[in-house]
Amino acid sequence: MNDGTVLVNQNLLVPVILLGLVLWAVFIWKEWSQRKENRFWVKLVVAFLAIASLAMIALKPGTWQESTSGKGIVLTDGYRPAQLDSLRSIYKRIQIEEYTKGTPLSILKDVDSLFLLGHGLAPFDFWQVKNESVAFLGGEEVSGWMDISYKTEISLGEVLSVNAKYYQPKEGHWAILTDNGDNPLDSLLFEKGQEQVLQFNAKPKADGQFVYHLLEKNNKGNIVSDELLPIQVLEGERLKVLIVNTFPTFETKYLKNFLAEKGHEVLARTQLTKGKYKFEYFNGASNPIYGFTKANLELYDLLVIDTDSYTSLGRSSKNAMQEAVKNNGLGIFIQPNESLFRLAENESPLQFNRDFITETSLGESGQTLQKYPYSFEQDVRVQEILVDSLVVAAYIPVEKGKMGTTVLQNTYQLVLDGSDRLYASIWSQILNTIVREQDRVVEWKAVTQIPRSDQPFEFELRTSLNNLEVKTDGGANIPLLQDGLVSSKWTGIVYPRTTGWSKLEVSNDSTPQFTYYVFDEDQRESVTRSGTLEANLREFGTQNNFSTSVSTSKKTLKPISPFWFYALLLLCLGWLWLEPKLFKQAF
């Protein structure tokens, strides 16, 4: 199969044509005296064919033809020897190469299609086979920890929640979460089954950089595996919270105590009678507030207001509140009651649908929570707030700020039932989502999930700074690539040299550095293998029958053999030399 004829020496086409025409013209001039004879026209055609042959020899015409250089096998970690033996029995003398991360595959020079065995290539090496045909056959099943996810950066007082998935657990083994001093914080018993999902919770008691451990122990107490969990516990920003209630409630009482215990500055105002209020001050709060103004709301990060107070606000207070949300980013949380769910669209930031469900369960123990018989109406502006995959609240962005509420009620009952941790988790998630966002000059994000030494670690940052320079903790500058559509978005790649904590910093900025943890090669092995396998399945798909190739053949330009042109040239020249002699003998 070919795609037509192509000239190899295409650049010589014009000079060759001109020279050929000149030669033909000289031949015609030489034989012009014989123009009245038939032999003149025969010689003219033969001369043309001779010159055309010379031109083809110089231009080298060729055709694109399918090339089948052969097949090859690339072996990666976790390949099955039996699968390799089957391939070798089918394809005799097939080339084989073992893959090493970051090393170019030499086999690509000699083959046109690859069988990829094992868990696959590292994602940063996909570029090597971008234009190749690959049949990914997979490898041995991955057992152990398949996924470990948690927030690597939390505030002091916040609950650390570690979600993990284990494939092929051994019944009777234990999974134990320990702190950096090997003190057990939470533990779960493995159950018999194909796969088990586990959740561990702990509350760090100090700020700083720590390396927790997720241990697997057998029934004799011996450590089977040890997964490192690097975590940064920040001291946390001290927020200023204003709570406004028409009358005292247990819900507000426990909420303000929760906020005060976390060290936030809280001012709680409760109306006693018309025009008379009770003020409570926590952690340095002062200055009572009677009506909302632009000046006094600017001092706060979060306003917690009950429905009755919200609906009874005067015009000036409502205008000041709306301005604080739009222009200053104030977060507003409306404590619900039955009347909130019946407010008109122009009176409430959120709309609801009645679902007649008054209870829901949350947490590992399936703790029952009371709720209002409503759910949030779906809208493109509505942003749901989830706890354990359950929608507990929602908010809508209002320019720089947010306004939200919840459908839960009487959450203080969790504290009375001894579920303080679940109570803290719910309210931390709700309020941290709605509170005023702190202005950050630089926002960092790790693209590579498991950094390793001498392997590419990709990161992303967003900033409005000009003349941006990012340096490693060793002082080396890192080249950055600016996004073509979002000018404030930059990406970079660094190759960490040592394991442990590393950092990046913007040289012309005083904001906190970006800190990340570099794992050793033998850490997070099963998680890495699982991630690599999934990435290769997404990239190459799966090919169960390895006896045939899924490749498409390459096409190469093959010149037409010049033998035929030389043969035609010799015949034509021979005729032109012999023709005058034959003509003389005839006459």
- The amino acid that residue 567 corresponds to is A
- Number of folded domains in the chain? 5
CATH number of domain containing 547 = 3.40.50
Domain match, 105 and 196 both: no
> Can you read off the two tokens belonging to residue 474?
């060793």
Q: Confirm whether 516 is domain-assigned.
A: no
Instruction: Tell me the average pLDDT of the chain.
Output: 87
Rounded to an integer, the average pLDDT of 10-34 is 85
Q: List, in sequence order, the alpha helices (H) in 31-115.
A: 38-59, 81-90
Q: What pLDDT score was predicted for residue 555?
A: 61
Residue 100 has pLDDT above 60, yes or no: yes
Does residue 462 share a domain with residue 422?
no
Return the pLDDT at 39: 78
Q: Would residue 515 count as lying in a domain?
A: no
Q: How confident is the model at residue 65 (pLDDT cuts 50, 70, 90)?
A: low
218 and 136: one domain? no
- pLDDT in the model for residue 11: 84
Structure tokens, 581: 């002699």
Backbone angles phi, psi at 565, to 5 degrees: -75, -40
pLDDT of residue 587: 54
Q: Residue 424 is which amino acid?
A: A
Tell me, yes or no, whether 382 lies in a domain: yes
The domain of 251 spans 240-434
Q: What are 110-138's pLDDT values in tens digits?
A: 887 889 999 999 998 999 888 888 889 88
Question: Which tokens is 467 given?
Answer: 């003349």
Q: At residue 64, does pLDDT exceed 80?
A: no
If asked whether residues 277 and 413 sit together in one domain, one would say yes
Choice among 297-311, 312-326, 371-385, 533-547 with the minimum mean pLDDT: 533-547
Place of tokens 């012309």: 508
Do 474 and 427 share a structural domain?
Answer: no
Do 119 and 163 lie in one domain? The reply is: no
CA distances in angstroms from 342 to 152, 346, 414, listed in the order given: 41, 12, 27
> 275 with 126, same domain?
no
Most confident of 62-71, 396-405, 474-483: 396-405
Of 183, 207, 235, which one is at a domain's C-terminal end?
A: 235
Residues in the chain: 587
The pLDDT score that the predictor gives to residue 549 is: 41
| Token digits of residue 215 | 């241990």
Q: What are phi and psi of 103, to 5 degrees?
A: -105, 130
Mean pLDDT within 383-389: 86
Average pLDDT over residues 290-298: 93
User: Which residue is it, tokens 């209630």?
Assistant: 245
Same-domain status, 169 and 229? yes
Query: What's the pLDDT band for 450 if we cut at 50, 70, 90?
Result: very high
Same domain, 452 and 571: no
CB of 135 closer than 8 Å to CB of 543: yes
CATH code of 381's domain: 3.40.50.880
At 210, which CATH number?
2.60.40.2550
Residue 520 included in any domain: no
Amino acid at 236: G
Per-residue pLDDT at 59? 82
- Report, as an integer, the average pLDDT of 255-281: 92
Amino acid at 222: N
What local confidence, expressed as pLDDT, does residue 66 receive? Answer: 52
| Cα gap 126→540, rounded to integer Å | 10
